[in-house]
Amino acid sequence: MALFKGMRYHPHMAFESITHLSALAVSTERIGLIATASTTHHEPYNLARQFASLDPISNRRAGWNVVTAGSREEADNFGHRRVDHDARYVRAAEFIQVARQLWDSWDDHALVIDQSAGTWGRGDLVNPIKHVGDHFQV
């Protein structure tokens, strides 16, 4: 883990946002639960899935504060090189596009979860997005 030298108020033991908000979701009813998540060092499928899980757990109170990560320390933590400002925002735009496509690929009634019939979901109501872009293939 990279050390954040000179950052006097950096949280040393901050909880991971999605896990933390999932715990808060079952203890609250009326507050929005917004996690900050970077498009620079994550992949759209995993992050979209995490927010798609948080959404029903929180009774539709989940939100995403989209950021790009530009520090050398953050890049080091993921084993990546530092990405310049403009490239981060181009990647972020495609990332958001893919996340939205993934969320929209499931019809509202795709999940059946009928244990007696042994039916989990309706495959005819799930549509692969087939995204091929400059940064992602999903």
Q: What is the pLDDT of residues 77-131, one digit of tens each?
A: 888 888 889 999 999 999 999 999 999 999 989 988 899 999 989 999 999 999 9
Confidence band for 7, pLDDT divided at 50, 70 and 90? low
Taking 80 as the threshold, does the pLDDT of residue 132 lie above it? yes
AA identity, residue 62: A
CB burial of residue 44 (10 Å; 0-12, 13-18, 19+): buried
Mean pLDDT in residue range 68-80: 83
Taking 60 as the threshold, does the pLDDT of residue 4 lie above it? no
**Distance, CA of 47 to CA of 69 (rounded, Å):** 15
Q: What is the mean pLDDT of the chain?
A: 89
